[in-house]
Amino acid sequence: MSTQRLGIVMNGVTGRMGMNQHLIRSIVAIRQQGGVPLANGDKVMPDPVLIGRNAEKIEALARAHGITRFGTNLDAALADRQDTVFFDAGTTQMRPTLLAQALRAGKHVYCEKPIATNLNEAVEVCRLAQASGLKHGAVQDKLFLPGLRKLDMLRRAGFFGRLLSVRIEFGYWVFEGDLQPIQRPSWNYRAQDGGGIILDMVCHWRYVLDNLFGEVQSVSCLGATHIPQRWDESGKPYAATADDAAYATFQLKGHQGEPVIAQVNSSWATRVRRDDLVTFHVDGTHGSAVAGLQDCRAQSRVATPRPVWNPDVRQTVNFFEQWQDIPDAQPYDNGFKIQWEAFIRHVVEDAPYRWTLPEGAKGVQLVEAALRSWQERRWIDVPTLQI
């Protein structure tokens, strides 16, 4: 048994997602566990070099987590042949350019979603990646959430029967910044800087819907900018030009030509009164289930109660108690870490891997269809993406 090194250039990891999920809870955690085990018993130890624009910030982050390599020169990092993987969690607007630069430097690439702000750039970088023969991947983290893994188990077991509909409720109140400090970066609410909840979240809904419930066939979407003025990191007011909520309906490919209907609400201007910050309610002919990030509860056909409609008396039934918890049948590791381990195995031992850049491009395709639907106020078909 031996351990081999894998050099990874990590760009944009001083931001919330890049630092917490990709650096600390994935790469640092993998290093602490002794590497990624391979099929032959060997291990792979990731050796990251952190790259960022702020020298002091990147150095402090590296030293805090025992990482000896860091800097601000991305060109020099990509020129180092000892590092064979490039990862990007920086701004979406820069991502296609950085991915193309890394591919031309001979690096395997892995990145956050969305992989681009528009479909043309997404397809272009996908074609470059495919022509290069290098490995490539896009983050699709929600597929690895415990709640969705339990939903997927129910689906594969035939629990739902014929799928009928899916309802996804996502969101919470993002503070405007005048009374309470903001908890999301201000660029999220400026369209000119790549902000907007449709661009941010519809990419997620594409891979969730496609992989768990049926391929997306068409979309009807209405966006909104509910909060027109916000305050930035320095406390200065600015005009919010990006959508902060989206109300969408999707038609999915079902069995025997019967479509599955998905209703998806995404909002940074809603207050939470549900089981989790995101919930997935799935109805089928034989059963229903509701999942959050961690938990999943189900109600089978034979255990479905008979509610009585009577608006003249107070409701005495606690409907939440009528659902069965789906147990944790196995330990569930961090979803980002699981996908990192899968990508590392893909790079080192050519293990199967399906969450590629073209899968990420499908998310951008659906974003454009949703934005077009909002603009034209009509249903938009989503054809098979040709890359």
CATH code at position 62? 3.40.50.720
Q: Would you say residue 241 lies in a domain?
A: yes
**291 and 345 assigned to the same domain:** no
In a domain, 25, yes or no: yes
CATH number (domain holding residue 195): 3.30.360.10
Q: Is residue 385 part of a domain?
A: no
Same domain, 196 and 329: yes
Residue 357 belongs to a domain:
no
Q: How many domains does the chain have?
A: 2
Helices 357-376 and 119-132: crossing angle in degrees, nearest 10, is 170
Do 165 and 126 fall into the same domain? Answer: no
Q: Which domain holds residue 264?
A: 143-334+366-376
Same-domain pairing of 203 and 327: yes
Same structural domain, 303 and 234: yes
pTM metric for this prediction: 0.94
Q: Say yes or no: 132 and 158 in one domain.
A: no
**241 vs 376: CA distance, rounded Å:** 19
Q: Are residues 99 and 162 in the same domain?
A: no
Say whether both 148 and 95 belong to one domain.
no
Q: Is residue 381 part of a domain?
A: no
Q: What is the pLDDT along the chain (387 residues), one digit of tens a residue?
A: 799 999 999 999 998 899 999 999 999 999 999 999 999 999 999 999 999 999 999 999 999 999 999 999 999 999 999 999 999 999 899 999 999 999 999 999 999 999 999 999 999 999 999 999 999 999 999 999 999 999 999 999 999 999 999 999 999 999 999 999 999 999 999 999 999 999 999 999 999 999 999 999 999 999 999 999 999 999 999 999 999 999 999 999 998 778 999 999 999 999 999 999 999 999 999 999 999 999 999 999 999 999 889 999 999 999 999 999 999 988 999 999 999 999 999 999 999 999 999 999 999 999 999 999 999 999 999 999 998
